[in-house]
């Protein structure tokens, strides 16, 4: 169980992020067209999992825009923004923001992602939502970077993500 904060108040997740050096847990998430995707759909690509409570908040929106600008156009890397938001809301957000390279994914059908990846918030006013975290996997699905953002209202460490995908050193 990770201890994080929401505006300074302690809250907890159901577990821990996948550890660097381990295989990322399996997942089934839903795209905007209501089709489901799994790790197999992204095989052979580096993946940035931008995990957020909701795209309908300022910090979550800012991270999606930043990842779109800095990572979204890399040929060998995909950014997957994962939240509990419905796929329709995710699509509206991306269209309104001009986000075309980040792939929004919802755990509307299968809530195991939050539990298996250690990002489901267990208590406090955001209980049931996903915490703010970033996990980067290499082409084989091995975790090369994992950050549980310690304060929900903080943005993730973008520089560390860029280093993990090989853009910055």
Catalytic site residues? 60
CB 63 within 8 A of CB 53: no
- The beta-strand segments (E) located in 61-114 are 77-83, 102-106
Buried b (16+ CB within 10 A) or exposed e, 145-159: bbbbbeebeeebebe
Query: How far apart are the two ends of the chain, measured CA to CA in Å?
Result: 31
Q: What gap in Å lies between CA 59 and CA 149, rounded to an integer?
A: 12
């Amino acid at each position: 169980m990770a201890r994080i904060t929401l505006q300074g108040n302690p809250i907890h997740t159901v577990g821990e992020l996948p550890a660097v050096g381990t295989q990322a847990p399996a997942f089934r998430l839903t795209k905007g067209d209501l089709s489901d995707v799994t790790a197999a759909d992204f095989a052979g690509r580096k993946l940035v999992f931008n995990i957020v409570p909701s795209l309908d908040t300022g910090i979550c929106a800012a991270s999606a825009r930043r990842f779109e600008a800095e990572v979204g156009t890399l040929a060998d890397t995909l950014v997957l923004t994962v939240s509990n938001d419905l796929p329709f809301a995710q699509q509206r957000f991306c269209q309104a923001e001009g986000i075309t390279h980040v792939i929004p994914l919802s755990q509307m059908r299968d809530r195991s992602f939050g539990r298996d990846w250690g990002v489901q918030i267990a208590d406090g006013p955001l209980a049931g939502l996903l915490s703010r975290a970033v996990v980067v996997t290499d082409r084989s699905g091995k975790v090369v970077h994992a950050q549980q953002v310690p304060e929900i209202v903080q943005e993730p460490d973008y520089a560390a993500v860029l280093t993990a995908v090989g853009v910055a050193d």
